[in-house]
Amino acid sequence: MRSITVVGASLAGLSTVRALRAEGYDGEIVVVGEERHTPYDRPPLSKGFLKGDIDVEELALGDADEYEVLDVQWLLGECAVRLDPVARTVTLAGGRHVRTEGVVIATGASPRTLPGTDGLAGVHTLRTLDDARALRAELLDGLPRVVVIGAGFIGAEVASTAHRLGLHVTVVEALPVPLERQLGREMGLVVSSLHSDHGVQLLCGTGVAELIGEDRVTGVRLADGRVLPADIVVAGVGVRPNTDWLAGSGVQVDDGVVCDSGCSTGIPGVVAVGDVARCPNPFTWRHARIEHWSNATEQAKTAARTLLTGVSVPAPLSAPYFWSDQYRSRIQVAGYVAPGAEPEVVEGDVDSRIFTAVYRREGTPVAVLSLNQPKFFNRLRRTLVPAAAAVAS
C-alpha cells in the first residue's frame, strides 16, 4: 500500500496519521477536511474558548514542524461526496477524484438542528470552531437571556459557560431526568443538580413546540404552552454521523459505519475511526459509536494496524472514558452504566459535590463516576471490567 486517504481532518483523522507513521508506513497520505482548519481540539469549544479565555492557536492539535515530519498532503475546505472502493477513488464536491489504495473514514458527526430554524438569527449549534466563534461573539456581546435546549454534557457545558459570563440561563430537557441514559436515574439527578446549585433554571420533562421570532429569535414556546424569553438559543439535541457520502459504496451504514472490533468495514483497505465508527464494544455489550476524545486517539492505533496489515486486530481492552467541566466541577466517567448496574458512593459525599461512585453489576465494577476527585477516579477506572464479563462471572 503506497497511498492512503484520510477523510476527516479531525482528532481521529490526525491520530490515525500519527499511528500510520509510527507503524512505519512511509507512503503518501492525503487528508481531506471539510473545514478549512487544520485539526483542532474540540472539548475547549464549549468551555474556555467559548468564554474567551483560549485563543484559536491554543486549540491546535499539531504544529508546522510536526506536519512537516508527518509529510501529509492537506486538502482542506474540501468535502468528500463519494467513495468507490472498486476504482479506489474518493470523489470531492468540486469533481476531483483522489486515487488511493487505502481509506480511513474519520468524518465524525454533525449536530442535529431544530426544525424550522433556518435563517433565524440567534439560534446556534456547537460542533465546529466556526460554530463556537459565532456563538462566542453573541455571548460576549452581552445578550442577556440564553436558552439551552438539551441538558446533555455539551448543553450543560454551554449553560455553565454562559452563566459564568453573567448571563441569565435556562436549560430545557425533554427527559424527566437529565443524563439518565448515561449515568442512571440517581446520579443523573445528582449531576444535573449542578445547574440549580448555581442558580440556573432547569426545566425537565417538556419538549420545545417552536421558536418565536421573525428575523431573530425572541422566545421559546414549550410543549406545555409556556414561553421563555430568549436572545440566544443553543440546541444540544444530539448528533448524526456523517455517512451520506458513503451511499452506494458498499460500506455498511447503520447509525454510523459498521465495523468489526479492529475498525475494519469489511471492504478491503477501508477502515473507520472516531465518532463515525460503530464498533463492537465489550463494555457496552453492543455495537456502539463512542463519541469520546480518548476513544478517537486509542482507536486510531487499531485502525492503522488493521489497514496496514490487512488483518483486523481487536483493540486493547480499555474502558470508555470521558470528562466534562461544568460550574468549576470536573465530572469524569469511565466504563458503561449497564442496565441493572447500581451506583455506590465509595469516597466523599454527594452533598459536597466531591465524591466517587462505583457502579456494580452482579457485584462486579463496570463503571465509575467522579466529581472533583481525579486521582481517586484514575485508580478506580483501572479496576473496571466489561458488562458481559460481569454477567458471565
Segment 73-102, tens digit of pLDDT: 999 999 999 999 999 999 999 999 999 999
More confident residue, 374 or 282: 374
Q: Per-residue confidence at 273, pLDDT binned at 50, 70, 90?
A: very high
Position 388 scores a pLDDT of: 54
Q: Per-residue confidence at 391, pLDDT binned at 50, 70, 90?
A: very low
Position 383 scores a pLDDT of: 86
Position 74 scores a pLDDT of: 98
* Biggest CA-to-CA distance, the chain: 61
The Cα-based distances of 312 to 135, 213, 288 in angstroms read: 42, 53, 18
Position 390 scores a pLDDT of: 46
At position 113, the amino acid (one-letter code) is: T
Position 393 scores a pLDDT of: 40
Query: Which residues make Cβ contacts (< 8 Å) with residue 303, sequence separation at least 6?
Result: 16, 19, 104, 262, 263, 271, 272, 273, 277
Q: Per-residue confidence at 382, pLDDT binned at 50, 70, 90?
A: confident
Mean pLDDT for 283-295 is 88
What is the sign, positive or negative, of the torsion defined by CA atoms of 116, 42, 287, 246?
positive
If DSSP states are collapsed to H, E and C, what string results for 73-97? EEEECCCEEEEECCCCEEEECCCCE
Q: What share of the chain is helix, strand, coil (3-state, %, to 5)?
A: 30, 35, 40
Q: Per-residue confidence at 17, pLDDT binned at 50, 70, 90?
A: very high
Strand pairing report for 354-361 and 364-371: antiparallel
β-pair partners for 190: none
pLDDT tens for residues 192-213? 999 999 999 999 999 999 999 9
Question: Where is average pLDDT lowest: 108-117, 292-301, 377-386?
Answer: 377-386
Residue labelled with grid coordinates 488493521: 306
Position 116 scores a pLDDT of: 86
Could you tell me the strand order of the sheet in which 257-258 lies?
Answer: 257-258, 277-281, 286-288
What's CA 380's distance to the chain center, in Å?
24
How far apart CA 167 and CA 386 sit, in angstroms, is 42
β-pair partners for 84: 89
How far apart CA 297 and CA 280 sit, in angstroms, is 17
pLDDT tens for residues 298-342? 999 999 999 999 999 887 778 899 999 999 999 999 999 988 889
What's CA 194's distance to the chain center, in Å?
21
Query: Is the distance from CB of 148 to CB of 236 less than 8 angstroms?
Result: yes
